Amino acid sequence: MAESCDCVDPLSLTSQSDLEAVLAAWHAATVRLEQTHEALRAEVRRLTDELEAKNRQLARKNRLADLGQMASHVAHEVRNNLVPVTLYLSLLRRRIHDPESLELLDKISAGFTALDATVNDLLHFAAEGDPQWQRFPLDRLLDEVMASVAPRASAQRVTAICRVPQGLLATADRNMLRRAVLNLVLNALDAMPDGGTLSVIASAIEDGVEIQVCDTGPGLSEEAQRRAFEPFYTTKSGGTGLGLAIVYRIADVHGGQVAAANRPEGGAAFVLRLPCSSPKVPV
């Protein structure tokens, strides 16, 4: 009687091993393909968001350019008419001696003074041109700004604090930067009519300098945070809405940034960041 023999075909084992290897390779390739696909999708999302942000920035710059041209035209027209009216008011003052009439004339003059300030804001907003780059001590510039607002701060019972590391240098257009910081400081004082603390703090950061202007006022609403630097947006009665827009434009032409936020301890903080160098000023 023939004995049974349980033998395994070597060819079938080889075929099964090859199939398992192929399936494993296919699975690994599929996983890598899925990972690559997800990475590509994430990159497309990032590039799309970046493109949308760039398009928004470009649209904003175009709007600012159009507004600047309009503001410049309006400002010059108004100023051309202000000059003779101011002269007529001066001549009229010499002919009037009645106290009540003089008081009324003073109110008219105050109105024209406010209008002239508005024209100045329009002209600063519309001003174009490249920064006149120079390197200078930041502490001296901030001391000048704080000295110029000291009488108003004292009248409002605002305590002013200025901290700048000795020897900290800024590379910028000095007049433009002074205007930007002054606008931020005046904005902070506007937020504290009944007293508070104004803090101006400068520091060196990795790629430049940072200036923080903080107040202890009521803080910013969500809308104010979102629209703070839009031209003609203001929450103040009688304001032109151009002070912070001017700051934004100055930061932009320097290749810097400005941002607004509420402080955890109360009040608002505006942060101006400028690069430490420019193409025209060697480091």
Q: Could you tell me if 72 and 195 lie in one domain?
A: no
What is the structure's pLDDT at 188?
A: 95
Tell whether 171 and 92 lie within a shared domain. no
Written as six digits, the tokens of 110 are 């105050």
Residues 100 and 179 in one domain: no
* Domain span at 118: 1-128
The span from the CA of 126 to the CA of 50, in Å, is 28
Tokens matching residue 275: 């690069």
Asked which of 108, 128, 148 is the last residue of a domain, the reply is 128
Let me know if residue 282 belongs to a domain.
Answer: no
Rounded to an integer, what distance in angstroms lies between the CA atom of residue 61 and that of residue 57? 6
CB atoms within 10 A of CB 123: 17
Whole-angstrom Cα distance, residue 9 to residue 11?
A: 5
- The answer to whether residue 69 sits within a structural domain is yes
Asked if residue 200 lies in contact with residue 181, where contact means CB atoms within 8 angstroms, the answer is yes
Domain count for the chain, please give it. Answer: 2
Pair 95, 111 in one domain: yes
Q: Retrieve residue 155's tokens.
A: 């009248």
Say if residues 121 and 240 touch (Cβ distance below 8 Å). yes
What is the torsional sign of CA 25, 27, 32, 37? positive
252 and 210, same structural domain? yes
* Same structural domain, 123 and 139: no
Does residue 102 sit in the same domain as residue 143? Answer: no
Among 106, 128, 150, identify where a domain stops.
Answer: 128
Specify the pLDDT at position 283: 41
Domain boundary among 128, 151, 185: 128
pLDDT on residue 281: 46
The pTM of the full predicted model, rounded to 2 decimals, is 0.63
Same domain, 167 and 195: yes
Give CA–CA dist 208/143, Å, rounded.
20
| Domain of residue 239, CATH code | 3.30.565.10
Strands (E), the chain: 134-137, 158-163, 169-172, 196-205, 208-214, 257-262, 268-275
Give yes or no: residues 123 and 168 share one domain.
Answer: no
- CA-to-CA dists, residue 50 to 45, 207, 226, angstroms: 8, 22, 19
Residue 76 domain-assigned? yes
pLDDT in tens, the chain (283 residues): 445 555 555 555 566 777 777 777 787 888 888 888 787 777 778 777 777 777 766 666 666 666 666 666 676 677 777 778 888 888 888 888 888 888 888 888 877 776 776 777 666 666 656 788 999 999 999 999 999 999 999 999 999 999 999 999 999 999 889 989 999 999 999 999 999 999 999 999 988 999 999 999 999 999 999 989 888 788 877 667 788 988 998 998 899 999 999 999 999 999 999 997 655 444 4
